[in-house]
Amino acid sequence: MVGRSPTPDPGVLARLDQGVELVGPGAGVGEGSFDCIWRLFGGRPEGSPEDPLEAGLKAHPEVRWVHTVSAGIDHLRPLLEGHPGVTLTTSAGVVAVPIAEFVLACLLHHCKRLAHLDELQRQRRFEAVPLRELGDLRLVLVGLGAIGNEVARRALALGAQVVAVRRRPELGGGHHGLPVVGPEGLTEACRGADALVLAAPLTGSSRGMVGEAELRLMADGSALVNVARGGLVDEPALLRALAGGPLSAAYLDAFEEEPLPDSSPLWTAPGAHLSPHVSWSSPHFAKRSTELFLDQLTRFREGLPLRNVADPAQGY
């Protein structure tokens, strides 16, 4: 196995038995024969001419399994082309709780007008401000995987009306029996919606799925929350909706280009609240990620079905 983690959980990794070898980032791609590449963090280390996964697959064509800490796999597709025999598994679900909490924090920030209250404090103005309750929201939730289900659980507990959009509506409304429509129903679902939450993978069919038609149908004073991928949203349409459409706030934790360039108009767009793709952050991240991998490793070695098997061709 080739491991790529600068911050593994030492207590959990100590349970790896003697039949497993970890080759860290400073050790190259390793020598000998390997079954698995464990990809905990993407991108190229500084000074590296190529992606570590690309290098690992090139050096070890015998690898049969790649596991990634990410839930999304759009960035892995080009690296796995030409390796049809490799099984790809993800860490879907590991960060569902912190991301769902982040979404609820955004919705509360919006309903309770915390940015406006902060501005009043800076101006030393003491005046009444009308606020909203989350229970009054009609929320459209795009994506009903682990993250979407955790968002729904929390929004429903606060009384919100939730409608889900998923690629395969025949699978139903998840753990909560939500009303559900397919992607072709997204535009109509947005009619009069108070909030639109994006928690779907980026694929060829989902790129730009939220655009002018969807945003102009939302309710006055509505909010968009994107904790998935920046490419899901038509950025020019989003900027127009913030400047003069019904949308009054956009909480963006994912962008087409990351880090977001200084020149991006999103930095100064009215009602835009930007965060540097940190909605997943949690003190439990390393432990949960490692425990999932160890369970996967046990399954792999015992010939049992792996969890979270992804299809690079489908994009999730």
φ, ψ of residue 145 to 5 degrees: the values are: -85, -155
d(CA 313, CA 316): 8
Question: In the chain, what is the greatest distance between 2 CA atoms, to the nearest angstrom?
Answer: 70
Selected catalytic residue, list 277, 291, 299, 307: 277
Return the residue matching tokens 């015998």. 62
Decide if 277 is catalytic.
Answer: yes
Selected catalytic residue, list 50, 81, 188, 258: 258
Decide if 150 is catalytic.
Answer: no
Q: Which two tokens stand for residue 127?
A: 């005046």
Selected catalytic residue, list 110, 138, 229, 288: 229
Amino acid in position 95? V
DSSP structure class, residue 306: P
Whole-number CA gyration radius for the chain? 21
Amino acid in position 228? A
Give Cβ neighbours of residue 136 (< 8 Å, ≥ 6 apart).
159, 160, 194
d(CA 210, CA 198): 9
Residues serving a catalytic function are 229, 258, 277
